[in-house]
A and B are shown apart, each in its own frame.
Chain A
Amino acid sequence: MKKAKKYLAILLILVMVLALAACGGNKEQPKTPDASNGGNVADPSTSSKPDTSKPEDSGPKKVRIAVTDVASNVSPWAGTATGRHMIIYNLYQPLLERDKPTGEIKGILMDKYEKVSANTYHVTIHDNIYDGENNHVTADDVIFSIEMAIKEGNISGLKFIDSAKKVDDYTVEIVMKSEMDYQFASSVGMINIVTKAAYEASPDGMSTTPVSTAPYELTEWSPGTSAILTAKKDYWGAELADPSVKSAWHWFAQDIDVAEYTKISEPSQMSIALETGTIDIALFLTQNEAERFMSNPDYNVHEIQDTLAYNLFFNCGDNSVLSDKKLRQAICYAIDAEAVRQANGGYGTMCYTFGSSEFVDNDPSWKNEGYYEYDRDAAEQLVKDSNYNGEVVRIMVSSADSMRTTVAEVVQGFLLDVGINAQIDPYDSATFAANKYDETLYDIRVDTNSFECLADLWNQFLSAEGHKDGKNYGHFYDETLQGLLDNLTKADTYTPENIKAAHEYIKENAFAYSLYSKVNFHVSTKFVEEYVGTAKLYPNVGAWGYNFSA
């Protein structure tokens, strides 16, 4: 007895010591001198009373943010990933950004630009830009950053940039391979600018310590888990953080001193954390969880309309039964897009062409001409007229996102209803990304895609230009279609008439079918009154509207 007791006691003590050391020893408090609010994000005493968790006037003002993922890479020119989007726009600045719904190009580091020929732009930056190490940013740094971004090859959209060279100390000439302004804006807008001096001084290519022109710096970071951003002192761009001075003012705002990001992957846990006062705002919450807060006066629900649309990409190649136009049309008629939207909570705007109706080159009148309105009889008739004989129609979907799987499931239901033998093949997000263009694996792919405008989206998916096998991502080549799309890649033929012609051809042939564009939900306590994001709708935490007395 004694012996066993002794062993148990020793084991117990050992574990206690270990547990205490483990929990207490690491990450005690953030480095910020914030004793009042402390690092005890989840202290039970504060968790029962949300009000005590607000930053007090004395210390630095802090916002605690829950995100579905935190950046696992903060180097300047890494590839895009959800977690990176959450913090990166407060850590780096590009030259400019393009507002999707209006098409307007807004300068960030760029003061102004001039289009000197069909595909050449002169970009002039502000002459008073300094990075975190107080290096002065000049045209050389801009060129260095552009060349490095292209050389690292992690951002696939940069293929449209041909070259960049110096005009004077603050002006760079950028030559594009495309004539389209949106291509220029989207490509250049993806490149973060850093100084050559700071980059070369960094021992690890800034993969842990970004030094940039942005208003915040990374003070603590655990890749993929948590991050703390702190406002820089004596920030060079402080005066630009004023809507009356600059259209892209939100890239400069420092309205909060400290932003603390925590990854919470389960949506239900996110809203519980919000309700128990563990966090101040939950970003990109699912619609279902967001609804809980909509009628609650203690919370703000920020609804942001996105240009991301739920699309059905049809495999029109010879491998698929969907090479039959009638069957594709039948599918479009068989689906009640409104019901699909309702199944996901009923948010977002409907689509009336292939692509979101939120884009600048979308014609609002298309809404009136009808876009495969739900018509079960027409669908059944078309199925009969087609060569379809009960083959399995495979719907490929990424299982990572419940809204996409819902879309797939409702679509499957509608197809089964008209006698199309639909089957869902879920893939995890990585496998999905790797296999989404494999024509042997799917007939219909449910996907959301972010592009600059309709012309951009159509060209990416339906143009065979630059494809080795001469076929587009719908796995076919159609000469008429190619001609219509080529028109949209040149400045002088990018006209409403040509857009309309392409729209009608794509619609008639049902190469792809769009359902609706989604809405993003961010839910906060009364502390955060307004959500402000970049043109791509990702958070610009310094620019949010805060109510410090809440």
Chain B
Amino acid sequence: MIARCAAAFAIFLAVMSSSPGLRGADDNDAKRKSLEFFESRVRPVLVEHCQKCHGPDKQWAGLRLDNRASLIDGGESGPAVTLDDVSQSLILKAVRHDPDASPMPPEGKLTPAQIADLETWIRDGLAFPEGAKVGGLPKPDPNHWSFQPPTDPEVPSVRDTAWVRTGVDAFILSELEKKGIVPAPEADRRTLIRRVTFDLTGLPPEPKDIEAFLADERPDAWNRVVDRLLASTAYGEHWGRHWLDVARYADSNGLDENVAHGNAWKYRDYVVQSFNDDVPYSQFLAEQLAGDLLPAEDRQTRERQLIATGFLSLGPKVIAEVDEKKMQMDIIDEQLDTLGRAFLGMTFGCARCHDHKFDPVSTADYYGLAGILISTRSMESFVKVAKWYENPLPTPESEAAKAAWEQQVTAKKSEIEQFIAAADAKVRETLPEGAPAPEKLETKYPEETTKALKELRDGLAKLEKAIPEVPTAMGVSEARVSDVPIHIRGSHLKLGDVIPRRVPTNMRGPETPEFSQSQSGRLELARWLTDPRHPLTARVLANRVWRWHFGRGLVASTDNFGTLGDHPTHPELLDWLAHRLLEDNWSIKALHRRLVLSSTYRQSTEVSPATLAADLDNRLWSRFNVRRLSAEEVRDSVLATGGLLDRTAGGPVLTVPNRGYLFDHTSKDLTRYDSPRRAIYLPVIRNNVYDFFQLLDYPDPAVANGDRSSTTIAPQALMMLNSDLVMDAAAGLAKRLADEGERDDAAKLDRAYQLAYGRSPTPSEAQQQLAFLEAARRTVSETAGSEQAVDPWSILCQVLLASNEFIYVN
């Protein structure tokens, strides 16, 4: 934990120092090793034990230990380091507690290993990163492209103006023309409708929609297809899922104690609905960070906004952590890391322990942000096994139920009182005149009265327990507003200066907001992020949307816009898109149209040798990339083609109660993935992701991820050949073909191709498949024995579902 970024840093240094120079390779190597040694063994000691008094802020005895020159120059007692007589260096004498030096550090002696490390470091030449001060080095580049406010570039002029349909095309074509590349021709309509239907809805096009598009001769036929798809509920189910990747959505905690996020589905449904409603991204962002602090006109809005804050709550937590303070800071770290990646493409995690080595995020920035989250209530209790907080979401029904219940309780109570009064009166009647009444008349009740009273009381107890449940949703609320001290090297046991709540200050753009003393500051954070002048928010989103359409971002590292991230292939296009996003009031659907209606998007995947030579990796978008369907698309289209997909939307998915264990000490897997509903409505169980998805590169739901990979491994093939899901769907497709009426094999084959591939088979394909069908019939009858005979059509249908043409989109 302490320095989880240092490996990256060491490599960075290695790269820096191994660049060709005048010195020989060995010198470079030695220098690199010394620097690595400094970074791993010396810098932590200097920062933790020396710098507070001998650093940039204070220079006790005139001594500063944060750069090489100051060490050699020394302070009032002379040089701290004597390179010609290393062991007599003042700094070593001090840490060794030699009698002729002041013992340092004052709070206690360093370990022998630390002292030895200091000596080794000095002996090896006192390596310091060049031009470096110990605090934050090497200097992060404040001029890094992504920290500058986006420009609003002119749309470039191009020679082939006819190709330009949206502004996107001008930027793309202008680069292609500079390289003498001709864009790929427009894909045919069958390819296009298959491409865009999967892209916008995650489902294959229906044969009737294909035919309608092919027959539509109006000039805006393509726009109409896009509009229809954007208006479908399937759109939100598919694009909402993209966002859930970024929100590291899961229906269970994962990590150490895998308990159920029983109400997480409300956040999932909120996301789907927000995409379908085209909620402006600025509002979507603000609701997720600070929905509880936003005004709400009505109960539904209020509820939606509270559910949205589930974004902050959904992270994996080590809830059996024994050290509660550490747990709290770990949770905040996870929240910061996620919101940093999701909204800014920044890795804040590094700054927990040290100033970010590459990006302008200091430890103070980190703890300034941490103050916002420590002032936010994310947890109900930190006592292991800890519980996350959930906002109550009372409904008229739940309120009515509660009122009815309260009435029943009151009625029951008064019934008991009346009963006691009557029984007491009877007892008093039996008492002799003038005798003092016993304190508890109940002791004198006859047996049947006692029994009846007990029954009444038991009834009350039972009623009181049956308090009607008020619905709740994972989310956050406000806690006591407070600021956080710097945790030195990330440790909550070593605290430094308290940092007032703030946002990172080194990014160019909107000024740092004033933080309210009566609120956590999440609202101010959200407003700062969605300020049109913010350099990152709109760019990061525009790039994400580009990535999800085109398979690779204009900035390939979608979640890292820092100096270690990739540079944009088309910086002006990215800025132009960011500006249009603002102009369109953060409408994501408007952004889709800019991209999908372009000629760039409509290119075919074909590539000429000349283009391949000039743009091997398609960095210039000289064609469309062939794409393997995502895990969810594979599953949903297998089921849809087999006629088995249930399109019911939304709602809970778990069989385990909220906070119940998915796995305790046992390994019994109670999670069911055999629901026929769309993939987004299957449970997402951390530590045990549905194997069908996991094999197809579903991302780890513990970490924000806007850039899924796509690998090809043999176990995927086993799954397509042997899983019940695929075989059931194949049987389903065979049944569908049979149910559609008495037709010959050729007609059935044609229909199967329409359903699976959106086209008819070529004559040679048909011939080949029908020959296979005959062979399959023969083999089945030859091998038929103990087992139930297999339907040869279902064998053929499985071939279609498992084939490349089904799994890949052009």
Co-assembled chains A and B: no
